[in-house]
Amino acid sequence: MKLAICDDEKDIRNYIEKCAKEIFPDLEIEKYPDTTNVLKSGFDADILFLDIQMPGVDGMKTARILRTTGSKTVIVFVTAVEELVFQAFDVDAIQYIVKPFDKSKLQDAIRKSVSTAEEQKNIDHILSSDEAGKDNSRFFVVKSGGINTRVILADIAYAEIFDRRIVLHMHDKECIEYYGRMSDLEQAAGNDFFRIHRAYLINLKYVTSYDCRSVCVLGIPIPVARGKYPELVKAYMSYYTRQEKL
């Protein structure tokens, strides 16, 4: 696991490194005083602690560039100006920390970022086999409550974002919560799932009814975002067309 720390203050870079090594001594760490190396094509850190206010290309613009190139690096913003963090979630940052640091909060952010990066790797490695077309062959592993838990994609009825966590509502078992990004789950889930709202991803298999305002999954009404209804209808029809051909 590789952590990059990008901040124009040397003391800050060294302090984040020290705090990270205390809890993850095997973590590979790179430190940069500006975003030049972060924006190079070979940048491959799993996690990036990124200062927002820096000379040259600032942290927010750097994050946007990374996302437009398809980077899945887990981003945690570092800033001395808390007002700037309201833009953080536009670039799928998982958290922000404000200078001067509270050590416990900083280490919590480090733990969360490592956990999220691990989930990212798990999702990226969803097993594919000769039976990849069968729902029950596709799964990933998440850390929920400190326990590695195997999740079969076809068993997810819907997923929602709650308090910066992903909550998986399963069709026949208890919910599973973990730190991760909905966009990663959406990509891994495939065409049998549809993102009806920023906060919700549904499995079309478990839809029992829908209209322009909500979708009913497991008897639960889930809101449809404005403008998403035509896409929902198309996705639902496409799903059932595929099922009829099986």
Read off the pLDDT of residues 225-246 as tens digits, 9 standing for 90 and up.
Answer: 999 999 999 999 999 888 877 6
Residue 54 has a pLDDT of 87
pLDDT band of 90, cuts 50, 70, 90 = low
Q: Taking 80 as the threshold, does the pLDDT of residue 114 lie above it?
A: yes
* Distance between first and last Cα of the chain: 41
Average pLDDT score over residue span 162-189: 89
The arithmetic mean of pLDDT across residues 69-81, rounded, is: 88
At 116-161, the pLDDT tens digits run: 888 777 766 654 443 444 555 578 888 888 788 888 899 999 999 9
Mean of the per-residue pLDDT values for the chain? Answer: 87
Closest CA to 191 of 204, 180, 181: 204
List, in order, residues 6 or more apart from 16 with CB less than 8 Å away. Answer: 5, 7, 49, 78, 106, 110
User: Which has more confidence, 69 or 13?
Assistant: 13
pLDDT at 131: 43
Q: Where are the beta strands (DSSP E) in the chain?
A: 2-6, 28-32, 47-51, 74-79, 95-98, 139-144, 147-152, 156-162, 165-170, 176-178, 193-197, 200-203, 207-210, 214-217, 220-223
Residue 136's contacts (CB-CB under 8 Å, 6 or more residues apart) are 152, 154
What's residue 137's pLDDT? 57
Name the percent of the chain lying above pLDDT 70: 90
Domains of the chain: 2-124 (3.40.50.2300), 135-245 (2.40.50.1020)
Give Cβ neighbours of residue 121 (< 8 Å, ≥ 6 apart).
46
37 vs 33: CA distance, rounded Å: 9
pLDDT tens per residue, range 20-61: 999 999 999 999 999 999 999 889 999 999 999 888 899 989
Question: Using an 8 Å Cβ cutoff, are 165 and 177 in contact?
Answer: yes
- Please classify residue 102 by burial: count the beta carbons closer than 10 Å to its beta carbon, then call 0-12 exposed, 13-18 middle and 19+ buried: exposed
Q: What is the pLDDT of residue 132?
A: 45
Helix boundaries (H) for 27-143: 59-68, 103-124
